[in-house]
Structure 1
Amino acid sequence: MVTYDPALPDPRFVMIGETSIATWVLEPVGAVRGEVVFCHGTPWSRRVWAHVARELGRDYRVFLWDMPGYGESDRDAVATDLRAQAERLVALLKLWGLRRPHVVAHDIGGAVALMAHLLHGTDFTDLFLWDIVTLEPWGSPFFALVAEHAEVFARLPANLHAALVKEYISGALPPRERAGLVDMLASPWLDARGQASFYRQIAGVASSDTRAIADALHATRCAVRIGWGRDDPWLPLGQAYELQAAFPGHAEVIVLDEVGHLAPVVRPAAVVTAVRDWLCR
Structure 2
Amino acid sequence: MTTITGFEQLSVPVADGVTLRAAVGGTGSPVVLLHGFPQTHLMWRHVAAELATDHTVICPDLRGYGDSDKPEDTDGTAYAKRTMAADIVSLARELGHERFALAGHDRGALVAFRAGLDHPDAITHLALLDTVPTLDMWGVLHGVDAAVAFHLYLMAQPPGLPETMIAAAPDAFFASFLDGWTRDPAAIPAPVRAEYLRASREAVPSIVADYRASATIDIDQDRASRAAGTTLPMPVTVLAQDWGAVLGYDASAVWRAWAPDLVHETVTCGHFMAEEAPADISKALRSLLAR
If the length of structure 2 is used for normalisation, what is the TM-score? 0.79
Q: Which amino acid aligns with 1:189?
A: S
What is the alpha-carbon distance in structure 2 between the residues aligned to residue 157 and residue 227 of structure 1?
A: 30
Q: Which residue of 1 aligns with 2:34?
A: 39
Q: Within the alignment, does 1:201 sit opposite 2:210 as a pair?
A: yes
What is the alpha-carbon distance in structure 2 between the residues aligned to residue 50 and residue 217 of structure 1?
A: 36
| Paired-residue identity, % | 23
What is the alpha-carbon distance in structure 2 between the residues aligned to residue 218 and residue 201 of structure 1?
A: 23
Following TM superposition, where does structure 1 have runs of at least 4 consecutive aligned residues deviating by more than 4 angstroms? Answer: 156-159, 175-179, 181-184, 235-239
Q: Within the alignment, does 1:118 sit opposite 2:129 as a pair?
A: no
Query: Shift of the alpha carbon at 1:130?
Result: 1.0
Note the 1:219-230 alignment, pairs <5 A. 219-230=231-242
Judge conservation of contact 1:228–1:256 (CA < 8 Å) in 2. yes
Return 82-91 or 170-179, whichever deviates more.
Answer: 170-179
Across the two proteins, how many residue pairs are aligned to each other?
270
Note the 1:1-281 alignment, pairs <5 A. 6-16=4-14, 17-28=16-27, 32=28, 34-77=29-72, 79-134=78-133, 135-137=136-138, 140-148=149-157, 150-156=159-165, 160-174=169-183, 176-177=185-186, 180=190, 182-190=193-201, 193-206=202-215, 208-210=217-219, 212-213=221-222, 215=226, 219-231=231-243, 236=247, 238=249, 240-257=251-268, 259-281=269-291
Q: Which amino acid aligns with 1:136?
A: M
What is the alpha-carbon distance in structure 2 between the residues aligned to residue 240 and residue 57 of structure 1?
A: 31
What is the alpha-carbon distance in structure 1 between the residues aligned to residue 248 and residue 261 of structure 2?
A: 17
What is the alpha-carbon distance in structure 2 between the residues aligned to residue 5 and residue 24 of structure 1?
A: 7
Judge conservation of contact 1:125–1:222 (CA < 8 Å) in 2. yes
Alpha-carbon distance change, 118 to 48 in structure 1, aligned in 2, over 3 angstroms: same
The unaligned stretches of length 5 or more in structure 1 are none
Judge conservation of contact 2:4–2:23 (CA < 8 Å) in 1. no
Higher helix proportion: 2
Judge conservation of contact 1:25–1:63 (CA < 8 Å) in 2. yes
If the length of structure 1 is used for normalisation, what is the TM-score? 0.81
* Backbone CA RMSD of aligned residues: 3.2
Q: Which amino acid aligns with 1:222?
A: M
What is the alpha-carbon distance in structure 2 between the residues aligned to residue 222 and residue 117 of structure 1?
A: 8
Judge conservation of contact 2:36–2:108 (CA < 8 Å) in 1. yes
What is the alpha-carbon distance in structure 2 between the residues aligned to residue 45 and residue 53 of structure 1?
A: 13
What is the alpha-carbon distance in structure 2 between the residues aligned to residue 128 and residue 162 of structure 1?
A: 30
Query: Shift of the alpha carbon at 1:189?
Result: 2.0
Alpha-carbon distance change, 158 to 211 in structure 1, aligned in 2, over 3 angstroms: closer
What is the alpha-carbon distance in structure 1 between the residues aligned to residue 197 and residue 102 of structure 2?
A: 26
